[in-house]
Amino acid sequence: MTHDFSNLRVDFPVLDQHVGGHPLVYLDNAATTHKPRSVIDAVARFYERDNSNVHRGLHALSMRATDGYEAARARTAKFINAADPAEIVFTRGTSESVNLVAQSWGAANLKPGDVVLCTEMEHHSNLVPWQLITARTGATLRYVPVVGDDAEGGLDLEAVDRLLTPEVKLFAFTHISNTLGVTNPVKELCAKARAVGAISVIDAAQSAGHEMVDVQDMGCDFLAFSGHKMAAPTGIGVLYGRRELLDTMPPWQGGGGMIANVEYAASTWKPAPERFEAGTPNVADAIGLHAAIDYLDSVGRPALGAHESELAQMACSALSELPGIRILGPRPGSARAGMVNFAFRDVHAHDVVTFADQDGVALRGGHHCNQPLMRKLGLPSTIRASFYLYNTPADVHALVASMRKILKFFGAE
């Protein structure tokens, strides 16, 4: 069954507006996506009818709030095929999820001589937490390089084999790069990590809301993603962790909701996931995440990912004909995830983004939270167009037309 992607725009109230006198063409989805009416309504309904704290009240509203929050956890577990809802920890987002693993698992397990391996294409969120914890524990941080002047070869898989030595205790890598549009062979990477006894951490920020993510099939130990990048509200995210690992990990924050018993001298902890959710959780947005998952699955993830990737390839091919353009990641005509990142020789990214905005085209310009990679590629700043289920070929045409206009204005044609 193929879904009709031509009219999903009507499900997203925010898209019904003009910017600069033009209908909004929103192509900054890798930064954050918009929310469908059903998600906005689910959050509003919670505040209007069920609002209460969870896991502590015995009254009707508290029970409804608790049920809603735990149903969201169970739905999320099913969404990524986790074996047990207890393997789902709710966080604020990908960044917090990765920091949790670093601060809890990392602090308890890393020591001098150990190696944490990550990759040159990691978002700062899956890089800086490893810098912090390796500096604190005396472990060493190493990077798998990317291949090619425009990183068109993706991750250097031979280097992975070379770098995955027995000293490596943890291997952290992204599923889909937010800068390159490259999809990494995560199942293979998890297997290689396991072979040397390292645990694997997948950054699924750019994949979870776009394609099928099956943690058991991938064989990962941890997987992190953000609700706001997949049609859910901001402020809610997920850390999946294998049960055996989560149960051995110490808490990383203390507070209400995570304790079994508190004495003045010391306390004991609840098992996962509560152990890692100190304080009142973000109940409303977890319920919003549940609604977003239902929405995405009603569209169907495999079709959704294929749609975005088709738009990105269409954009990549059309843009590649513009003078002085440099495109990162897969070459035109090759498979790519739903985004394209590029730079012009003659016009700076910020000027491009300001111009496109006047045409109602929302793009991202900058280093995309990937400064070391951009530096390596010799690009201080690039332009990114990223697609989601509500985008259409007409949006690609608007993008390309706007780019042509800009090049003309700056006399770069």
Partner 1 sequence: MSDLTDLYQAVILAHNKRPRNRGKLPTATRVASGDNPTCGDNCTVYLCMDGEKIGAVSFEGSGCAISQASASLMTTQLVGKSPAEAESTFAEFKDIVTTGGEPEAFSEIAAFAGVHAFPARIKCATLAWHAALDALKQPDRPIDD
Binding site for partner 1 (CB under 8 A): 21, 347-351, 354-355, 358, 365-367, 371, 374, 380-381, 409-411
HSE-CB for 183 with a 13 A CA cutoff: 17
Nearer to partner 1, 112 or 411 (CB): 411
User: 3-state DSSP: the chain helix, strand, coil percent, rounded to 5?
Assistant: 45, 20, 40
Cβ 348 to partner 1 shortest distance, Å? 4
- Dist CA 90 CA 173 (whole Å): 20
Could you tell me which of 387, 266, 290 has the C-alpha nearest to residue 338?
Answer: 387
Per CB under 6 A, does 94 bind ligand PLP? Answer: yes
Cβ 175 to ligand PLP shortest distance, Å? 8
Nearer to ligand PLP, 123 or 142 (CB): 123
Per CB under 6 A, does 93 bind ligand PLP? Answer: yes
Per CB under 6 A, does 285 bind ligand PLP? Answer: no
- One of 118, 190, 316, 369 is an active-site residue; which one? 369
Contact window for ligand PLP (CB under 6 A) among 43-51, 57-65, 92-100, 247-255: 92-100
Cβ 353 to partner 1 shortest distance, Å? 9
Nearer to ligand PLP, 114 or 221 (CB): 221
Nearer to ligand PLP, 116 or 407 (CB): 116
DSSP state of 222: E
Q: Which does 178 bind (CB under 5 to 8 A by kind): ligand PLP, partner 1, none?
A: ligand PLP
- Dist CA 186 CA 200 (whole Å): 10
- What single letter denotes the amino acid at residue 154? G
Q: Which does 380 bind (CB under 5 to 8 A by kind): ligand PLP, partner 1, none?
A: partner 1
Q: Which residue has the tokens 């070929």?
A: 393
Does residue 369 carry a catalytic annotation? Answer: yes
Q: Which does 371 bind (CB under 5 to 8 A by kind): ligand PLP, partner 1, none?
A: partner 1
Per CB under 6 A, does 246 bind ligand PLP? Answer: no
Q: How many helices (H) and strands (E) does the chain have?
A: 14, 19
Per CB under 6 A, does 207 bind ligand PLP? Answer: no
Of 125, 184, 309, 402, the one binding ligand PLP (CB under 6 A) is: 125
Cβ 147 to ligand PLP shortest distance, Å? 19
Nearer to partner 1, 269 or 410 (CB): 410
Nearer to partner 1, 21 or 112 (CB): 21
Of 29, 33, 66, 95, the one binding ligand PLP (CB under 6 A) is: 95
34 contact partners, CB below 8 Å, separation of at least 6:
12, 14, 15, 26, 231, 388, 390
The strand order across the sheet containing 364-366 reads 325-327, 339-344, 382-386, 364-366
Q: How many residues would you count in the chain?
A: 413
HSE-CB for 203 with a 13 A CA cutoff: 29
DSSP state of 251: P
Token couple for 165: 């030595």
- Dist CA 95 CA 100 (whole Å): 9
- Dist CA 64 CA 339 (whole Å): 40
Token couple for 31: 């930064």
Q: Which does 369 bind (CB under 5 to 8 A by kind): partner 1, ligand PLP, none?
A: ligand PLP
Of 66, 76, 104, 178, the one binding ligand PLP (CB under 6 A) is: 178
Per CB under 6 A, does 133 bind ligand PLP? Answer: no
- What single letter denotes the amino acid at residue 363? L
- Dist CA 24 CA 40 (whole Å): 20
The catalytic site residues sit at 369
Q: Which residues bind ligand PLP (CB under 6 A)?
A: 30, 93-95, 123, 125-126, 174, 178, 203, 205-206, 226, 369
